[in-house]
């Protein structure tokens, strides 16, 4: 389950989930993205031109507009059970009381059988978690990350192009701060993540110091958070395919 | 009169790339108070005569200085270069260069390589016009020209408003500084007044052979 | 005669206001009910129905039997009616209106109609009077006059009506419901009273229908199952598939999904006495050799999932995304029902950025108005308020100037200058100013259009 920490974090959360879905889909699988009508009104529709950058080919995306939670859950189960679908994303809206323990278990079972990835994306989460979430293997909270951070290794990539054209890179690379709040198989932690364009993965971000931004210093002070380096076995770049915890249902 | 000079205006003599006539540009430049106007059509100097004729009109409030030249478009991947001859001899050289290109192919077409420009560049003031994403080709062209004709070579800097203007300008500034050539601001206008855009779009459609709905975003 | 006079004759006479719409609705309901006899039912307002029963006689033990059954059934619903069966629609109608009804033996329709008075032609008052004055009292007599003469005196339209009434001309009935391509049905002498039994019967029908499709080399694209209750109610369930199919198991599975999702579940009431399954539309289907191409198998699986989702949730809710080459950003991707698109088509590919993305991940279909503080005329926002929260802008890039299509009806809309902005928290937004300051609009408004990662 991936939640957005604030309305403005909806972009970061969507990017994170999109990248996970793209990884799961690989070159052949399809992604079933289910969104409840109200969710789109609240946080906007997913937008294919933006998705292409994340390596998710919009041609393999099937979007279902569900009128309510029950329909969304039913469709999610159908998708998770189908061999053609590699990942199912479900965007519910509101308190989702209908998502009880049984519904959660059903989704987890379906995902477990087929090996597909199931993710629930809550963009405007209400306080109080519905019982069904107990079936999720991992729970995440996503918040925005300032462009004062950059991709580790981005310098190397830039060196390949004309040095004077490095200025063309600019800011705006997808960045997010991902916090793993519950993990059935390991520890929790927070990681700053940056999108790498050349390899199509989220990687650990590193602080980009330099004369570029006067606000970098302010950022550095604010973000010196001891929790930034995770403890425990979960301390790995979250999007590496070996992160088994995310394979089934999250 | 303001100090801006536009060096790279394309008229209807850039066949099917513009719908504005040389006369229109001269009048617009005059009313805007531009200090100079450069007519630069694609591999052609045909628009210059009309422009000169319009200058003589006594009703013009200001008379901008007229630069007569051409925009050279190359086959080998080099960026476009706008050239304006300094003197009569240079003008002759430019005409011969263009003729050389035209002789290589059937009527209407013109095939030029960057090498040709280097050979014939004496007396020509050259502005290298970088493409949307300037890269190695732009650098090589600028370097070669600067080496050959230092002092008469500029790097054109425009603001195409595609969302990355600041970055692009920064990169161009960097490049210009490294090579030692100055930057020159230009708009690369394709039409002389904003209300002429529909005509411009239609002309582009004709050139591409598409209907207006189908053309999508292929125009500038 | 006037109402008062009529009341004088029959004192217990009651009057009720005429309700044309109700009458029409009732007629349509009756037409629906008559579907059990033949799918080709047309309205003959204000009080008639035309049924094309060619070839149906056998099903009912003969045409007389059909008529009797019809009269009795309608009678039990409280309707008195007269039924006539003839060789063509025109004669049938005339006979039903102007005789006691019944089945006209084959070939005799013309003679029977000929004996009818001219009023049966349904002409207007003037023409009818003219005929009577000319001494033409029956249709037969009129017909004997010769077409040329009649056309000259009464016009071509009258002659056409005459032809139709006599059955010389028999334009096909245009039915209320489109005629299905192929149809199988089963009647139950003992009505089936449970939904399970109905589904079992439907399964058998599916087998039969698919057998017929195979024999014809067709696959269905749209199917409809109709459940006829003994008391007259008809429940119709329709569905579509993405690619022609004649797989009875698939069909049944899709119907189950659809029935499951019905707002009013199937209710047999006193039982169903007729079940009909039709292939509404069909297309040639050539059986392809099952390929070993993994891709093809995966695509087929996906297509089946899409069909199932569409059957349950509705075709319009399951969509795929196609790129559109348009200026206005909100038009650059189009949602289309997934059943129509082929997933293997590349269609037009979306651009991939290899730098900071130029397009957001989420787009608001209706851009959200925001309040902005920005430097005039061209400057990016320095601070903005969205949904009552204030954001200060630390980084901005742009403008990306998008001039909207001037050729669309409605005239030119203002030019939009789009900016990518990042606020103090690191959230990135896509914001635009609607209109060029001064040049197009005095006080342009600002909108938030999308969110970046």
C30 pLDDT higher than 70: yes
- B171: distance to nearest CA of chain A, Å? 5
**Partner-chain contact A170 B164, CB within 8 Å:** yes
ipTM for the predicted complex comes to 0.79
Instruction: Specify whether the CB–CB gap between C205 and C275 falls below 8 A.
Output: yes
- Per-residue burial over C27-60, b if 16 or more Cβ lie within 10 Å, else e, is beebbbbbbbbbbbbbbbeeeebbbbbeeebeeb
Residue C315 placed within a domain: no
Instruction: Specify whether the CB–CB gap between C292 and C227 falls below 8 A.
Output: no
User: What is the tens place of the pLDDT at every residue in B78-103?
Assistant: 999 999 999 999 999 999 999 999 88
A39 pLDDT higher than 80: yes
Residue C434 placed within a domain: yes
User: Where do you find CATH 3.20.20.140 in chain B?
Assistant: 73-185
Q: Are strands B183-185 and C182-192 parallel, antiparallel or unpaired?
A: unpaired
Mean pLDDT (whole number) for A29-58: 84
Identify all chain B residues contacting A162, using CB atoms and an 8 Å cutoff. Answer: 135-136, 139
**Partner-chain contact A167 B134, CB within 8 Å:** no
Higher-confidence residue of C188 and A236: namely: C188
Residue C14 placed within a domain: no
Question: Are residue C203 and residue C161 in the same domain, yes or no?
Answer: no
- C334: distance to nearest CA of chain B, Å? 14
| Domain final residue pick, C271, C286, C301 | C286
Identify all chain B residues contacting C398, using CB atoms and an 8 Å cutoff. Answer: 161, 163, 165
Write down the domain spans for chain A.
2-134, 143-239
Q: What is the pLDDT at residue C421?
A: 93
**Partner-chain contact B135 A164, CB within 8 Å:** no
Residues above pLDDT 70, as percent of chain A: 70
| Domain final residue pick, C116, C139, C166 | C166
Q: Confidence band (pLDDT; 50, 70, 90) for A210?
A: very low
> Would an 8 Å CB–CB cutoff place B135 in contact with chain A?
yes
Q: What is the pLDDT at residue C427?
A: 92
In whole angstroms, what is the distance from residue A188 CA to residue A104 CA? 22
CATH code, B73-185: 3.20.20.140
User: What is the tens place of the pLDDT at every residue in C331-340?
Assistant: 766 666 766 6
Q: Confidence band (pLDDT; 50, 70, 90) for C56?
A: confident
Which chain C residue shows the shortest CA-CA distance from B219?
A: C327
Higher-confidence residue of A57 and C431: namely: C431
- The number of residues making up chain A comes to 250
Q: Are strands C84-85 and B80-85 parallel, antiparallel or unpaired?
A: unpaired
- The number of residues making up chain C comes to 453
**Partner-chain contact C453 A174, CB within 8 Å:** yes
Q: Which domain holds residue C235?
A: 182-286
Instruction: Specify whether the CB–CB gap between C426 and A5 falls below 8 A.
Output: no
Mean pLDDT, chain A, integer: 73
In whole angstroms, what is the distance from residue C441 CA to residue A242 CA? 55
B212 pLDDT higher than 70: no
C229 pLDDT higher than 90: no
Q: Are strands A61-66 and A30-36 parallel, antiparallel or unpaired?
A: parallel
CA B146 to chain centre: 18
Identify all chain B residues contacting C400, using CB atoms and an 8 Å cutoff. Answer: 161-163
Q: Is the dihedral of CA B107, B113, B115, B118 positive or negative?
A: positive
Cα-based distances in Å from A99 to A69, A72, A96: 8, 10, 6
Q: Could you tell me the pTM of the whole model?
A: 0.72
Q: Confidence band (pLDDT; 50, 70, 90) for C294?
A: low
Mean pLDDT, chain C, integer: 83
Q: For A186-195, B129-138, C189-198, which range has the lowest pLDDT when averaged over its residues?
A: A186-195
Chains B & C: contacts with CB separation below 8 Å: 34
Mutate to test the interface with C, among B132, B163, B171, B217 (most CBs of C within 10 A): B163
**Partner-chain contact B217 C400, CB within 8 Å:** no
> Would an 8 Å CB–CB cutoff place A36 in contact with chain C?
no
Identify all chain C residues contacting A146, using CB atoms and an 8 Å cutoff. Answer: 394, 422, 424-426
Identify all chain A residues contacting B134, using CB atoms and an 8 Å cutoff. Answer: 165
Residue A106 DSSP SS3: helix
A157 pLDDT higher than 70: no
**CA proximity to C112, closest of C136, C83, C87:** C87
Domain spanning A2-134: CATH 3.40.50.300: yes
In whole angstroms, what is the distance from residue C62 CA to residue A155 CA? 89
B179 pLDDT higher than 70: yes
Q: What is the pLDDT at residue C419?
A: 92
Instruction: Specify whether the CB–CB gap between B72 and B81 falls below 8 A.
Output: yes
For position C223, which CATH number holds?
A: 3.30.1490.100
> Would an 8 Å CB–CB cutoff place C407 in contact with chain B?
yes
Q: Confidence band (pLDDT; 50, 70, 90) for A220?
A: very low
Q: DSSP string covering C333-373, please?
A: EEEEETTTS-TT---SPPP--SSS-SS-SEEEEEEEEEEEE
Identify all chain C residues contacting B201, using CB atoms and an 8 Å cutoff. Answer: 406-407
Question: Are residue C199 and residue C257 in the same domain, yes or no?
Answer: yes
- DSSP-assigned beta bridge partners for residue A207: A149
Question: Are residue C139 and residue C65 in the same domain, yes or no?
Answer: yes
Q: Please report all neighbours of A, defined by 3+ CB atom pairs within 8 A.
A: B, C
Q: For B116-130, B147-161, C53-67, which range has the lowest pLDDT when averaged over its residues?
A: C53-67
Q: DSSP string covering B145-190, please?
A: HHHHHTTSEEEEE----BS-HHHHHHHHHHHHHHHTPPEEE----S
**Partner-chain contact B201 C397, CB within 8 Å:** no
**Partner-chain contact A164 B178, CB within 8 Å:** yes
In whole angstroms, what is the distance from residue C241 CA to residue C254 CA? 9
In whole angstroms, what is the distance from residue B90 CA to residue B152 CA? 13
Q: How many domains does chain C have?
A: 3
């Amino acid at each position: 389950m991936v939640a957005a920490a604030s309305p403005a974090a909806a972009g970061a959360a969507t990017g994170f989930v999109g990248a996970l879905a793209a990884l799961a889909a690989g070159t052949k699988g399809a992604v079933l993205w289910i969104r409840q009508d109200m969710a789109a009104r609240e946080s906007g529709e997913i937008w294919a031109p933006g998705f292409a950058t994340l390596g998710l080919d919009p041609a393999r995306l099937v979007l279902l507009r569900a009128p309510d939670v029950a329909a969304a859950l039913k469709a999610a189960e159908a998708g998770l059970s189908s061999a053609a679908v590699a990942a199912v994303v479900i965007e519910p809206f509101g308190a989702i009381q209908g998502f009880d323990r049984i519904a959660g278990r059903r989704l987890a079972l379906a995902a477990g059988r087929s090996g597909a990835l199931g993710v629930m994306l809550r963009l405007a989460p209400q306080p109080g978690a519905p019982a069904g979430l107990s079936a999720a293997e991992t729970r995440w909270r996503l918040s925005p990350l300032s462009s004062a951070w950059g991709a580790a290794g981005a310098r190397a990539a830039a060196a390949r192009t004309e040095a004077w054209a490095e200025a063309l890179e600019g800011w705006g690379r997808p960045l997010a701060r991902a916090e793993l709040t519950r993990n059935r198989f390991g520890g929790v932690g927070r990681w700053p993540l940056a999108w790498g364009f050349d390899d199509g993965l989220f990687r650990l971000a590193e602080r980009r110091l330099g004369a570029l931004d006067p606000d970098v210093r302010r950022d550095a002070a604010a973000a010196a958070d001891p929790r930034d380096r995770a403890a425990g076995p979960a301390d790995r770049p979250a999007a590496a395919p070996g992160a088994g915890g995310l394979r089934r249902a999250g | 009169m303001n100090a801006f000079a536009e060096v790279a205006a394309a008229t209807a003599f850039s066949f099917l790339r513009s719908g504005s006539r040389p006369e229109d540009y001269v009048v617009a430049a005059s009313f805007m108070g531009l200090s100079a106007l450069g007519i630069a059509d694609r591999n052609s100097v045909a628009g210059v005569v009309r422009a000169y004729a319009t200058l003589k009109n006594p009703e013009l409030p200001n008379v901008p200085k007229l630069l007569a030249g051409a925009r050279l478009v190359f086959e080998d991947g080099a960026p476009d270069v706008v050239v304006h001859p300094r003197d009569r001899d240079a003008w002759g050289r430019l005409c011969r260069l263009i003729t050389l290109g035209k002789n290589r192919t059937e009527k209407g077409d013109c095939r030029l390589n960057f090498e040709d420009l280097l050979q014939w560049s004496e007396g020509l003031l050259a502005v290298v016009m970088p493409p949307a994403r300037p890269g190695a080709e732009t650098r090589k062209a600028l370097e070669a020209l600067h080496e050959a004709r230092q002092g008469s070579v500029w790097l054109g800097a425009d603001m195409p408003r595609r969302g990355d203007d600041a970055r692009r300008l920064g990169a161009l500034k960097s490049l210009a500084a490294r090579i030692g050539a100055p930057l020159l601001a230009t708009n690369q206008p394709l039409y002389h007044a904003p209300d002429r855009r529909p005509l411009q779009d239609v002309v582009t459609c004709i050139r591409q052979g598409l209907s207006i709905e189908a053309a999508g975003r292929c125009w500038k | 005669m006037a109402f008062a006079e009529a009341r004088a004759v029959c004192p217990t006479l009651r009057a009720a206001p005429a309700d044309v719409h109700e009458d029409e609705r009732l007629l349509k309901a009756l037409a629906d009910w008559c579907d059990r006899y033949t799918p080709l039912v047309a309205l003959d307002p204000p009080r008639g129905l035309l049924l094309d029963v060619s070839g149906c006689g056998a099903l009912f033990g003969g045409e007389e039997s059909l008529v009797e059954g019809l009269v009795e059934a309608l009678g039990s619903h409280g309707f008195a009616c007269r039924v006539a069966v003839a060789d063509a629609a025109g004669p049938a109608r005339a006979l039903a209106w102007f005789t006691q009804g019944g089945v006209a033996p084959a070939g005799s329709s013309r003679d029977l109609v000929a004996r009818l008075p001219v009023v049966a032609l349904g002409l207007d008052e003037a023409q009818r009077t003219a005929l009577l004055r000319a001494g033409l009292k029956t249709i037969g007599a009129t017909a004997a006059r010769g077409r040329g003469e009649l056309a000259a005196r009464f016009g071509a339209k009258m002659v056409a009506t005459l032809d139709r009434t006599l059955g010389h001309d028999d334009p096909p009935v245009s039915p209320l419901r489109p005629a299905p391509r192929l149809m199988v049905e089963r009647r139950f002498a003992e009505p089936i009273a449970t939904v399970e039994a109905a589904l079992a019967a439907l399964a058998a029908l599916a087998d039969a229908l698919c057998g017929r499709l195979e024999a014809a080399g067709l696959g269905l694209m749209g199917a409809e199952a109709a459940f006829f209750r003994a008391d007259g109610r008809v429940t119709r369930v329709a569905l579509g598939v993405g690619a022609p199919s004649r797989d009875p198991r698939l069909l049944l599975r899709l119907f189950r999904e659809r029935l499951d999702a019905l707002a009013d579940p199937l209710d047999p009431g006193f039982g169903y006495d007729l079940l009909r399954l039709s292939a509404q539309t069909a297309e040639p289907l050539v059986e392809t050799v099952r390929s070993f191409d993994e891709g093809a198998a995966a695509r087929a699986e996906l297509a089946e999932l899409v069909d199932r989702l569409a059957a349950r949730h509705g075709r319009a809710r399951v969509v795929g995304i196609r790129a559109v080459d348009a200026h206005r950003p909100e038009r650059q991707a189009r949602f289309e029902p997934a059943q129509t698109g082929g997933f293997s088509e590349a269609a037009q590919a979306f651009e991939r950025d290899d730098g900071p993305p130029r397009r957001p991940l989420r787009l608001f279909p209706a851009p959200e108005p925001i309040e902005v503080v920005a430097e005039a005329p061209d400057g990016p926002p320095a601070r903005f308020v969205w949904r009552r929260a204030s954001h200060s802008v630390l980084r901005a890039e742009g403008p990306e100037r998008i001039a909207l299509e001037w050729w669309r009806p409605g005239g030119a809309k203002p030019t939009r200058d789009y900016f990518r902005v990042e606020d103090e928290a690191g959230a990135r937004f896509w914001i635009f100013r609607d209109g060029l300051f001064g040049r197009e609009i005095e006080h342009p408004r600002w909108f938030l259009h999308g969110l970046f990662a």
